């Protein structure tokens, strides 16, 4: 296979669903060797089978990014299998909308920060050690428009950990980009607008809320996962060889207003 990231080794968390899954499909088409990870196994099994049956190369791991040990062993397994690590996509993420109803605000806050922010940090911590061995790499974090501006009215009471976690990712991206620039490791984030995935399904299933969200995007629609994956492919590829430390909106103009 030939492509824009031919023979590069990419580790993708949250690979079983939504944006992570779409990145997996696109990256395989562009020649990457894939290490797919998610806390849930079911949909990754089919995904990996399909990629491999179409001439790609992938394997799956059940891993929880809130566990430092699991992050470490996931990175080590990937490195042992392919002998290098070039790309990390931190797409594992959660929203407090899906937290157990009996959790109080503090427990929800800790959970979302743990998965979204700390998980991305720990995955990067272990990946960077391996990337240094091959003189560089590209890390792509999934931040959000909500890391750049406040949440749309009605979606946060001010204590919602989701925007807090995404704002943390935006600053972590800049900090790591500066720290590891000389090691040839580029660190960037994507800031998607509202995109159709299981994460946003409870919002888009409500037709009034769906229309309201559409009206907040100047392009008059929400995003598709493939549009986010194409931006990730650009940042992962050598086409973005002088780009580091950016938080790139892919948002139909949401943050331009
Ligand atoms: N969909 C959107 O509108 C949108 C917008 C901006 C940013 N994002 C971000 O993009 C990323 C992907 O979101 P998505 O919409 O594809 O969501 P999704 O729910 O479709 O996929 C997220 C995946 O992460 C996995 N995951 C959750 N907790 C995990 C853990 N502890 N360890 C490993 N895997 C775990 C889930 O099992 C799931 O497969 C998230 O960080 C999300 O916050 C999404």
Nearest to 89 by CA among 21, 40, 154, 176: 21
**CB 65 less than 6 A from any atom of ligand 1:** yes
The pLDDT of residue 2: 66
94 alpha carbon – ligand 1 mean position (Å): 5
**CB 142 less than 6 A from any atom of ligand 1:** yes
- Residues 181-194 have pLDDT tens digits of 999 999 999 999 99
Domain at 9-256, CATH from 3.40.50.1100, 3.40.50.720, 3.30.540.10, 3.40.228.10: 3.40.50.720
- Residues 197-243 have pLDDT tens digits of 999 999 999 999 999 999 999 999 999 999 999 999 999 999 999 99
Nearest C-alpha to atom 20 of ligand 1 is from which residue? Answer: 18
Query: Residue ranges of the domains in the chain?
Result: 9-256
Whether this model's pTM surpasses 0.75: yes
The pLDDT of residue 45: 97
- Residues 13-66 have pLDDT tens digits of 999 999 999 999 999 999 999 999 999 989 999 999 999 999 999 999 999 999
Nearest C-alpha to atom 16 of ligand 1 is from which residue? Answer: 18
């Amino acid at each position: 296979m030939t492509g824009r990231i031919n023979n590069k080794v990419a580790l993708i968390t949250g690979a079983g669903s939504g944006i992570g899954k779409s990145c997996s499909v696109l990256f395989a088409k562009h020649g990457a060797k894939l290490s797919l990870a998610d806390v849930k196994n079911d949909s990754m099994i089919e995904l990996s089978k399909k990629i491999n049956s179409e001439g790609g190369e992938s394997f799956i791991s059940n891993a929880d990014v809130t566990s430092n040990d699991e992050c470490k062993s996931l990175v080590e397994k990937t490195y042992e299998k392919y002998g290098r690590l070039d790309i990390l996509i931190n797409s594992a993420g959660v929203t407090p909308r899906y937290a157990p109803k009996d959790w109080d605000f503090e427990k929800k806050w800790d959970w979302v920060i743990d998965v979204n922010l700390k998980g991305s940090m720990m995955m990067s911590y272990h990946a960077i050690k391996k990337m240094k061995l091959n003189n560089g790499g590209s890390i792509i974090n999934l931040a959000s428009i909500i890391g750049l501006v406040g949440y749309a009215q009605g979606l946060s009471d001010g204590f919602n950990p989701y925007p807090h976690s995404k704002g943390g990712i935006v600053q972590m991206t800049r900090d790591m980009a500066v720290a590891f620039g000389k090691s040839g490791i580029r660190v960037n984030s994507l800031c998607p607008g509202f995109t159709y995935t299981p994460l946003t399904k409870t919002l888009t299933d409500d037709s009034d809320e769906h229309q309201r969200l559409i009206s907040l995007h100047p392009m008059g629609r929400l995003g598709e996962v493939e549009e986010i994956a194409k931006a990730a492919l650009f940042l992962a590829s050598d086409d973005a060889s002088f780009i580091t430390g950016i938080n790139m909106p892919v948002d139909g103009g949401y943050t331009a207003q």
